[in-house]
Chains A and B, each alone.
Chain A
Amino acid sequence: MLIVENLVKQYGDLTAVDNVSFGAEKGKVFGLLGPNGAGKSTAINCISGLLPPTSGHITVGGADIVRQGKEAKRYLGVVPQELAIYEDLPAAENLGYWGMAYGLRGKELQSRVGEVLEHIGLVDRAKDLPKTFSGGMKRRLNFGCGIVHKPELLLLDEPTVGVDPQSRQRLFEMVEAERDAGACVLYTTHYMEEAERLCDSLAIIDHGQLIVTGTVTELKDELQARDVLQLTGEFPDKRIEDVVGALVAGGLSDLELIAEEKGSVTVTLSSASQHLPAIFEAITAEGGRIDETSLRSPNLETLFLLLTGKELRE
């Protein structure tokens, strides 16, 4: 449904998206993960036709988004990160207007507006102005405006930012419903737990570059069931690599130094909890002091840390 090939987007000297390629299928949720500023929104803006790519190709339903824009956009439904609704237009008329923008007419439009109002739980507020709605209700209407025409490719750009837990749960259900109805969903987020719950496959992006892509299971396998251990305290300058080397030589063969900053060391190894005494001993023997320990079992967040050496939410 969606094919992105060698996508590059530059703003002057800044390369926001650097040679990114991936594909997404119908009936699946594809996640685009990365920290803020990684290039996710730029990529999704190129896919939705908002920004022309500097180079590369984007094909939606077989139509090139640049050369066959109008045709490609017929497949698209976009739920932007920020609200994009008319607050001074009743909810039903908002849905009707965006439905018409996508080519729906007459009874089909009326029928879809009714269905979507029910789907997003706003039937009883259909004639009310969105400016009288709560934040969660506005989010749901924002979502509804993106799906009113039954898009085959639904683009969701960080849809849960600033959303309360209850509305977030409702949003997940709506996304799953679209996927179950056969839509291809492209979901960008920097919340790994959302990606783990919703996405069938995903790509991790950082500094505009695609770091890894695959199904959630495949990516977790990349971690090889290793835990991530983060230590904070005081560590002897330039000696921590020696400490890690000594521990590897002493039997912790899968111990790997991920990141080292002033006052913080991150390592990965399997069954980390069992090896904590040995690690502590080695560090203190070299004159270090450990104030705090954080041990995380393998997940996408630790995978990102493993791949980039930094936290996803930095």
Chain B
Amino acid sequence: MEFLIASFRKDLARWRQDPMAVLLWLGIPFFIGGLITAMVDSGDGTGPTGVLLIHDQDESLLSGFVAGAYSQATPGELITVEQVSLEEGRERINGGDATGFLIIPEGFMAAFLDEEPVTLTLKTNPSQIILPGIIEDVTEILLDLGFYAQALFGPEIDQMQDAETNDVPNDVFAADMAVQIQGKIDTVSPLLFPPAFDVEIVEPPPAEPRPDIALLYLPGIVMMALLFSAQGMSADYWKERETGTLRRLVSTPGLLSLFVYGKALAAAAVIAFLGGVTLFLGFLYHEVSFSKFIPSLVWTTVSGVGLFAWFAALQMLFPNQKAANLLTTILLFPLLMMGGSFFPLDVLPDWIAAIGRLSPNGFVVDRLSTELTSVPDWTFDIKSWGIALIMTVSGLAICTWRLQAGFARR
């Protein structure tokens, strides 16, 4: 047992002497993961917004109401309104720096009150598709509202206009106006509330919650770090053989199996570090519940050691170090591609995803992905844990057998 710990400490100390390798194993997935996340995730989780530039030449109560109407309710979530000068507005809309440019002419309110024709100028950005249409629709609705307001409250508007002209509005006048307007509303309200016809709103069946697409990449990115490190560390058996330490070990009473387990423990520590950092940052960024952190880390560490053991076993089957490194590196990239590291399994074509889930890393990614995105709490799926443990133990057993069968003696 002490020799196992000695082997573990020895390898851990050696890996500490090679921080560049560890940084690369961490850095490459972070770089790729960062690029992918930047591509698929806008960052704040909100949709695109348009900019409506308004040049208000009238600067009246009504023109202010029109400008403000674009910032209300649903249009306000999609459209940002900016008051600009005529020159700035023209320059920006011509430069494609806005979704629309609305000019409210001088005398707009007076013309409205006098029921005279007036022209609002709206220039939209042809390079944008949806938002200019929304601005046009909102503008038309506002114009319709103006028409109906005129039709319904024409006399009251005339009185208010007169009162403003004569400069005599007082509380009595205001109260009288309010009563008149309320009376008209009461008159028409049976027609409007409820409407003369019923509209049955049929809610579509609730769609299956679709996880954040960027979160789907997280398990693959974690696995990328683990695969790089597992493949890199597995080459250490060849290094030990080339430096003669394996031969020296065979002539000691120290057991080769303990040597293998010690090496696996050191690999587990490195893998836990890499997995811990990537998972922690991923959890933080995607706001995943930290109650899943420890199970995720244990899952990736156990599976990572399994991958390390199998890479090591493969390395020891090759006749020389060069061939071993070359072929395990070549193997690495198809595993990454099909196992969900470059593209999440959920977005791959079904037949490729099915094959990917059968790969060792794809199996680990699939399980981690399910746990992170689909269920509220970590489910300790016995079958998955059993497969991961069998993969790890069998890989280590093959490594021990290869060492005893002659790899260490040459």
Chain A residues engaging chain B, CB cutoff 8 angstroms = 48-51, 70-71, 73-74, 76, 78, 80, 82-90, 93, 96-98, 100-103, 105, 129, 145, 155
Contacts and interface: CB of A to CB of B under 8 A. Distances in A.
A50 B2 contact: no
Given A51-B409, A83-B243, A129-B17, A89 B248 contact: no
Interface string B163-197: 00000000000000000000000000000000000
A110 to B, nearest CB: 13
A70 B253 CA distance: 5
B244 A78 contact: no
10 contacts: A80-B247, A84-B247, A84-B248, A85-B245, A100-B254, A101-B6, A101-B254, A102-B252, A102-B254, A103-B253
Mostly, the B contact residues are helix
B253 A80 contact: no
A83 B254 contact: no
B291 interface: no
A101 B252 contact: yes
Contacts of B245: 84-86
A49 B250 contact: yes
B34 to A, nearest CB: 31
Contact of A89 (B3, B17, B254): B17
A145 B248 contact: yes
A48 B249 CA distance: 11
B286 interface: no
Interface in B236-257: 243-245, 247-254
A152 to B, nearest CB: 13
B244 A86 contact: no
Contacts of A90: 13
Contacts of A87: 243
A64 B243 CA distance: 28
Contact of B10 (A70, A73, A97): A97
Given A80-B244, A82-B244, A86-B245, A93 B10 contact: yes
B409 A50 contact: yes
Given A50-B409, A88-B17, A73 B253 contact: yes
Interface residues of B, number: 21
Contact of A50 (B7, B14, B251, B254): B251
Given A98-B252, A101-B253, 12 more contacts: A49-B251, A50-B247, A51-B409, A73-B252, A73-B253, A80-B244, A84-B245, A88-B18, A89-B10, A89-B17, A98-B248, A155-B251
A48 B251 contact: yes
B3 A100 contact: yes
A80 B10 contact: no
Contacts of A48: 250-251
B2 A100 contact: yes
B384 to A, nearest CB: 36
B404 to A, nearest CB: 12
Given A93-B10, A105-B2, A84 B253 contact: no
Nearest to A65: B251
B307 to A, nearest CB: 23
Given A50-B250, A70-B253, A101 B3 contact: yes
B270 to A, nearest CB: 14
Nearest to B17: A88
Given A51-B409, A105-B2, A86 B14 contact: yes
Which residue, of B6, B7, B14, B243, has the highest number of chain A Cβ atoms within 10 A?
Answer: B6
A86 B243 contact: yes
Interface string B211-251: 00000000000000000000000000000000111011111
A78 B250 CA distance: 10
Contacts of A155: 251
B13 A89 contact: yes
Contact of B14 (A49, A73, A88, A100): A88
A100 B243 CA distance: 19
Nearest to B258: A101
Interface in B98-116: none
A105 B409 CA distance: 26
A100 B3 CA distance: 6
B136 to A, nearest CB: 70
Contact of B244 (A83, A97, A98): A83
Interface string B367-410: 00000000000000000000000000000000000000000010
A132 B17 CA distance: 13
Nearest to B259: A101
Contacts of B253: 70-71, 73-74, 101-103
Contacts of A100: 2-3, 6, 254
CB-based closest 8 A-B pairs: A84-B244, A101-B254, A100-B6, A48-B251, A101-B252, A84-B248, A73-B253, A78-B251
A49 B247 CA distance: 10
Nearest to A146: B248
Contacts of A80: 244, 247-248
A211 B409 CA distance: 28
A286 to B, nearest CB: 54
Contacts of A103: 253
Contacts of A129: 17
A199 B250 CA distance: 27
